[in-house]
């Protein structure tokens, strides 16, 4: 008596079913990856919106003048405006510094892969 594990398998039919499953699995994985990316984007957007509102609230509530001395400049600005300028400077400088860091990491990876490729080929 043959059980389900003892039956001979039709190789062409099994191959077609396997390919079909692979394609469906790839589609599901692509949809899941897109969904995760959209989810992360939405979380980032919401976090940015909350931080922006908190910064604006901080700026509006702090209107006392503050004296700033930097190099040859002596300024009296409201605290809120000083904070707003600081936030804007951070928004500009942060991505520039992050881009430089990513560039350095990419160059280091390229250098390491070149060295590893040279030692493997020798």
pLDDT in tens, 52-71: 898 888 878 888 888 888 88
Cα 68 to Cα 83: distance, rounded to the nearest angstrom: 12
Report in angstroms the alpha-carbon separations of 76 from 43, 62, 68, 73: 38, 14, 6, 10
Predicted confidence (pLDDT) at residue 117 exceeds the cutoff of 90: no
pTM for this model (two decimals): 0.45
């Amino acid at each position: 008596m043959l059980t389900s594990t003892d039956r001979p398998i039709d190789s062409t039919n099994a191959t077609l079913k396997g390919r079909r499953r692979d394609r469906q699995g790839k589609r599901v994985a692509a949809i899941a990856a897109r969904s995760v990316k959209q989810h992360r984007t939405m979380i980032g957007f919401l976090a940015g919106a909350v931080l922006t509102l908190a910064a604006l609230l901080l700026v509006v509530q702090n209107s006392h003048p503050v004296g700033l001395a930097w190099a040859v400049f002596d300024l009296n600005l409201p605290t809120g405006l000083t904070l707003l300028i600081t936030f804007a400077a951070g928004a500009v400088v942060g991505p520039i510094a992050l881009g430089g860091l990513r560039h350095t990491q990419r160059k280091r990876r390229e250098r390491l892969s070149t060295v590893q490729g040279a030692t493997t080929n020798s």
